[in-house]
Structure 1
Amino acid sequence: MKRTHLPLNGLRVLDAAARHLSFTRAADELAVTPAAVGQQIRALEDTLGVVLFRRTTKGLELTPEGEAGLPALRHGFLQFEESVRAMQAGQSSKSLTIAAPRDLTQKWLMPKLAAIAVADPELRFVLIDAGEGVDFAQANLDLAIHWGEGPGEHEGEAIESDGMVTIERPGGGSEVAIGWPGCIEDDAAPLLTVADAGLAIEAAAAGLGRACVPELLTRADIEAGRIAVHGEPRAYPQGYWMVAPLPQWRQKKVRALVDALAL
């Protein structure tokens, strides 16, 4: 069914003028001039084809037509307020949906979220495997983390790291390369090729060779003594980015999450 175009500005002015029975006091409430209130009322009367106010010796009076519409109008404004509160409720929600590559989720994101949850036990997280890409429109996401040279089409912030590192089993092991789509250690054919950096780390920890992986993913395993760094970290054009479309990026809960993850 086609909806009637509603002159919402005029109706808002009508509500204020009817409550005060004064264009001047209505103008003060709405932060406009009395002349602007009068123009809105005249335009509304032209649109509706009825007279809404009459000036008398006692002041401004509503006509019967104006009186007849006020209860439904005020109920409608209350419904608008309820609608706005419902839409804003998501910003104060304690639920966050995050998409990230599986290896990043396992090696870095889950420990981060565990620490964040300790600080705010009411938080709830939904984690989605980013795979080869995410669609914010379809997945109802709050935030995504991707590997790339920038935020792409969205707003974003880089996760700080030392770039790429070459890792091996502590004490040394095979010196052959472990390959994955992000990096191989040298030009020789790798002994083992795996799907992602997380598996490359596990292969290196098992002594199958050396892997070139994002430094960000190695921190917990280095601290635990499972792997060791061979050589120095090196800069790399790609890295992990926290991204979201502008409306999500502006939400307080998303900004708080980004700030917490960046620590």
Structure 2
Amino acid sequence: MKRTHLPLNGLRVLDAAARHLSFTRAADELAVTPAAVGQQIRALEDTLGVVLFRRTTKGLELTPEGEAGLGPLRHGFLQFEESVRAMQAGQSSKSLTIAAPRDLTEKWLLPRLAEIARADGELRFVLVAADQAPDFTEANLDLAVTWGEGPGVHEGEAIESEGMVTVERPGGGAGVAIAWPGSGDDDAGALVRVGDAGLALDAAAQGLGRATVPELLAARDLAVGHVVTVGEPRPSRLGYWLVAPLPQWRQRKVQTLVEALAGLGAD
């Protein structure tokens, strides 16, 4: 149903003028001039086709038409205030929905969310697997982690990393590449082909070969000795990004999470 255009500025002025029965005091409340109040009231009267105020020897008074509309009008303003409070409540919500690739969630995101949650026991997370570009409209996401050259169409911040590393089991693996989509390794010469970098890392830890994976994913396995590096890390034009559309990105809870995740980095 098409909604009637509401002259909200004029209605706000009407409410103030009716409470004070004075254009001057209403102007003081609204931080405008008395002339501006008078103009708004006249414009509202023209729009509604009724007279709202009369000047008498005792001062300004409401007409019966103006009086009849005040109750619903003030109830409506209370409803507006309740609506604003409800919308702002999302800013203080402790629940966040995050989309990320499965391997990144397992190898990097979950340990960091656990650390963040230990600092704030009220936090709640909903995790969504997203190996492709996340759909923020359908999944009701607050934040996503993506792999690429930048944040794409969204706002974003890069997660610091040393690029790509080649890893194998301590003591040496099979000496052949483990291929995964995006690894750049020759599938034909690979002993094992897997679906993502996390599986490639696990295969390397089992001695099935050498895997070239994002350093961010490998950091924890390297730290505990599941794998060792072969050669030096090398820079990559691709990396992981924390991203969200501008409305979500502006939310206080999202910015707090971004700062926490970016601050933890690959440590």
| Counterpart residue number, 2:136 | 136
Partner of 1:225: 225
Task: Give the structure 1 partner of residue 207 of structure 2.
Answer: 207
| Deviation digits for residues 23-75 of structure 1 (CA, Å, limit 9, x no counterpart) | 12211211222111111100001111111111222221111111111111100
SS state of the match for residue 200, structure 1?
helix
TM-score by length of structure 2 reads 0.96
The alpha-carbon deviation at position 185 of structure 1 amounts to 4.6
Q: Structure 2 CA distance, aligned partners of 1:78 and 1:159?
A: 44
Identity of aligned residues (%): 78
Q: Structure 1 residue runs of 4+, over 4 Å off?
A: 185-188
Q: Is the 8 A contact 2:178 2:210 kept in 1?
A: yes
Alpha-carbon distance, 1:187 to partner: 8.4
Cα shift at 1:208: 0.7
Any idea what SS the aligned residue of 1:232 has? coil
Give the CA deviation at 1:4: 2.1
The answer (yes or no) to whether the contact 1:184–1:211 under 8 Å persists in 2 is no
Q: Does structure 2 conserve the Cα–Cα contact (< 8 Å) formed by 1:177 and 1:188?
A: no
- 1:157-201 CA deviation, whole Å, 9 max, x = no partner? 000000000000012122111111121456862111110000000
Write the distance in 2 (CA, Å) between the matches of 1:102 and 1:164: 18
3-state SS of the aligned residue for 2:11? helix
The CA RMSD over aligned residues, in Å, is: 1.2
Whether 1:40 aligns to 2:40 is yes
Distance 2:56 2:187 in 1: 94
Q: Which residue of 1 aligns with 2:73?
A: 73
Tell me the amino acid that sits aligned with residue 113 of structure 2. L
Q: Distance in 1 between matches of 2:4 and 2:180?
A: 59
State the AA in 1 paired with 2:101: P
Counterpart for residue 171 of structure 1: 171
Contact 1:184 1:190 in 2 (8 A): no
User: Residue in 1 aligned with 2:161?
Assistant: 161
Structure 2, unpaired ranges of 5+: none
Report matched runs for 1:17-166 at 5 Å. 17-166=17-166
**Matched pairs, number:** 263
Secondary structure at the counterpart of residue 211 of structure 2: strand
CA apart distance, 1:133: 2.3
Gaps of 5+ in 1: none
The amino acid that maps onto 1:88 is Q
